Chains A and B, each alone.
Chain A
Amino acid sequence: GQNIDQPTEMTATEGAIVQINCTYQTSGFNGLFWYQQHAGEAPTFLSYNVLDGLEEKGRFSSFLSRSKGYSYLLLKELQMKDSASYLCAVRDSNYQLIWGAGTKLIIKP
């Protein structure tokens, strides 16, 4: 079967750095996405990786290792507004997105 694993919850301090991991086992691979979802709101796109390596976008970076079935999202200079759930999703061989359950990130002052 297809599986995406992420930690359920993480806590970090304002101004710090946090890394959210995602491991996947899917039938085929056509890219990995990270989305942010604030409580009660819709998911919004953060990043996309299809090749191995690091993609940087301001305070957010995402890394992919296809051979290890592994990705992480790195958030720097954490702000209170970064408190949200972070969803990892993999596009499979049918070009459908398979979603992890999400990691709830709690930022403390």
Chain B
Amino acid sequence: IAGITQAPTSQILAAGRRMTLRCTQDMRHNAMYWYRQDLGLGLRLIHYSNTAGTTGKGEVPDGYSVSRANTDDFPLTLASAVPSQTSVYFCASSEGEGSYNEQFFGPGTRLTVL
């Protein structure tokens, strides 16, 4: 693995179903993030983690949960999917939360909730 991987690449999901989007990084970065990207809108932060064992809420956390059991993995769970959660989801990581640290992005998961 080099960088950040996400799975699945795309998914069609029935409303009400539970879904976990996976994200793994091999750069030993401390901070990880989940964004959603919708047409006409900027990337919006869902949840973040500044270090393993800690998580925080972003701008649009409702309906989503995360965990950070170790440095490499940061899964995002939709407990009961709704059509408004149809979006492209990007996982990102950075060395830390410091000012300069750029974020590196995974390839994204395209999720459709019907």
Contacts and interface: CB of A to CB of B under 8 A. Distances in A.
A83 B99 CA distance: 29
Measured as residues with beta carbon below 8 angstroms from the partner, the interface class of chain B is: 20 to 34
B40 A33 contact: no
A48 B103 CA distance: 11
Contact of A48 (B40, B102, B108): B102
Contact of A100 (B42, B45, B97): B42
A64 interface: no
A33 B102 contact: yes
Contacts of A44: 105
A97 interface: yes
Contacts of A50: 99-100
A41 B107 contact: yes
Interface residues of A, number: 22
Contacts of A99: 42-44
Interface of B: 40-45, 48, 58, 90, 97-100, 102-108
Given A41-B107, A96-B45, A101-B42, A31 B99 contact: yes
SS class, residues of chain B in contact with chain A: loop
A91 B94 CA distance: 13
Contacts of A102: 42
A31 B102 CA distance: 10
Interface in A23-39: 30-31, 33
A87 B107 CA distance: 16
A72 B102 CA distance: 18
18 contacts: A31-B99, A41-B107, A42-B105, A42-B106, A42-B107, A44-B105, A45-B102, A45-B104, A48-B102, A50-B99, A87-B43, A91-B99, A95-B97, A96-B45, A96-B48, A96-B58, A100-B42, A101-B42
Contacts of A101: 40-42
Contacts of A48: 100, 102
A31 B43 contact: no
A4 B44 CA distance: 12
A5 to B, nearest CB: 10
